[in-house]
Structure 1
């Protein structure tokens, strides 16, 4: 292509034939986007990656398992030459030029009649960046723009969000572990009702016009009543505000999130649920403890520790847990860890079963304690471990990344 500016345009490829010649990693990346655009994709290549083969098996695309031949582009609206053979790509380009079909040359963009921009999506927008073939530059700018939109740094001049409630799982604590959608909705909130375990750094980034309500529940200490939290969500939404209920972890993993959904629904308030990364799995992961591992654990049980074994309110079958050989993840268990350990040992778990305790997982003050089932209560007390902490019981707690 000559040095004149490229013309950036959005193609409506829905229901239209697009041919991709080549089945490697480059084709794999392009095909996913074409499928999302509704194109009728045909991949022509003797071999394809497992991912592309999977798309063909699922009938998302058509795969013609042979070399490209002249005439393969008949009826196509768009073509991508993605082989690792420049001569094949050139032949595709010649047919495309003859047939007046725009063609992308993956090996050398300047030799094609079209180029693929670095693209990103945000709330119905598609952001595309061209940089005269400087792919790293265009990708970096694309990413920065999308992140700025997600964080609310750049306004997209969208209409105000309609009144209602978004129940957002903020993840385990690290502000970068909230979902893209969660961060986007948080940036558009009028009111934020925040938990103590939510990502605090994100609260600091909110504009001065956003009302932040502290709904912290401090273990064995001060707590806002759940009924009052429910009332606040409904009151502010009915007053015409968009309310984000920012919770730590995932809203439905021992977070009483469904109670809040029920309260909003009963009051006729629209509510959206945005899942989050649960600390039950995230905290062990960042501490180097896999909750499952091939040949080590075939089961994972996540247990609430807010009531002791034998308490009439307990719904946990400790006899069954004691017979397990897999992984038990205890949440909210620090205060009663001795009781839980005794119940597991009494019901069959070996006293020397490895245990890992991760306090404040994914945050700057994260701490990890390695112990065993018959010693974990004393070790937690000796090391002054305090909530929030995740306790992992089972052989995976004794694994090391050193093999």
Structure 2
């Protein structure tokens, strides 16, 4: 057995649309001998792998049975030590709620060469799908990326403090994995943000079956339930949404007439 002659590349596959894959990511996929693929990566992206490559699906999705993280890390380590070119193919970006940091630490500690290739994260793709900028000189001076799904045993984000920060600093809140906790998140954000704050919820951003709803913070949980929006979805909170919100109101009025 060769020791530490292989390499692991953490590749961000983007939000789902295969045309959003970067050229560098494409090159890494085409050079892989083993691909460990997340659940949300499209088949069109995986199709770029060589026919000789082994493809192992190690899906991880909130609320569903998932491949243990320790097992995935063990697979990467074993394959790299056997001289393979391993690609860990992740939806979105490996370093934004993709556990890429944990995997890099594990591999480097074992002396394995590792590279990270960025992908378009779902939060950016969700906003862009609606024609919404996450930052805007008139509406938002920055954006905060958050998860609504806290690690088991850890403390959830302080949504009330985050709401106050977003209000005072004029920031957009981009919430991943927040649909199942939408009611609690909504109530805490309302402690500092007006009920009329525009909100967009985008499910499966960039994919053909993408769905979305534009609403207000005061109606967030009700809208998600009424529209049947589910994971994977991104919630965008802030004044940057107001343009698409106004357009949605105009369409509703036209339909009513």
TM-score (norm 2): 0.87
Counterpart position of 1:127: none
Indicate which of 307, 320, 323 corresponds to 2:161.
Answer: 320
Indicate which of 362, 372, 376 corresponds to 2:220.
Answer: 376
Is the contact made by 1:355 and 1:392 (CA closer than 8 Å) also made in structure 2? yes
Residue 279 of structure 1 and its aligned partner are, at CA, apart by 1.1
Is the contact made by 1:173 and 1:200 (CA closer than 8 Å) also made in structure 2? no
Higher relative CO (Cα under 8 Å, sequence separation at least 6) belongs to: 2
Counterpart position of 2:198: 354
Is the contact made by 2:34 and 2:53 (CA closer than 8 Å) also made in structure 1? yes
Is the contact made by 1:329 and 1:391 (CA closer than 8 Å) also made in structure 2? yes
Q: What do residues 32-80 of structure 1 show as CA deviations (whole Å, max 9, x unaligned)?
A: xxxxxxxxxxxxxxxxxxxxxxxxxxxxxxxxxxxxxxxxxxxxxxxxx
Indicate which of 343, 357, 365 corresponds to 2:188.
Answer: 343
Residue 239 of structure 1 and its aligned partner are, at CA, apart by 1.2
SS of the residue 1:399 aligns to: helix
Is the contact made by 2:7 and 2:85 (CA closer than 8 Å) also made in structure 1? yes
Alpha-carbon distance between aligned partners in 1 of 2:32 and 2:153, rounded to the nearest angstrom: 41
SS of the residue 1:176 aligns to: helix
Alpha-carbon distance between aligned partners in 2 of 1:319 and 1:299, rounded to the nearest angstrom: 18
Residue 312 of structure 1 and its aligned partner are, at CA, apart by 6.7
Task: Give me the CA root mean square deviation.
Answer: 1.8
Alpha-carbon distance between aligned partners in 1 of 2:184 and 2:215, rounded to the nearest angstrom: 16
Residue 315 of structure 1 and its aligned partner are, at CA, apart by 5.6
Residue 199 of structure 1 and its aligned partner are, at CA, apart by 3.4
Counterpart position of 2:23: 180
Residue 204 of structure 1 and its aligned partner are, at CA, apart by 2.6
5+ residue gaps, structure 1, are: 1-161
Counterpart position of 2:254: none
Q: Which structure would you say has the larger Rg?
A: 1
Indicate which of 176, 182, 187 corresponds to 1:331.
Answer: 176
Is the contact made by 1:171 and 1:199 (CA closer than 8 Å) also made in structure 2? no
5+ residue gaps, structure 2, are: 248-257
The structure in which a higher percent of residues are helix is 2
Indicate which of 358, 371, 387 corresponds to 2:231.
Answer: 387
Residue 329 of structure 1 and its aligned partner are, at CA, apart by 0.5
Is the contact made by 2:148 and 2:156 (CA closer than 8 Å) also made in structure 1? no
TM-score (norm 1): 0.57
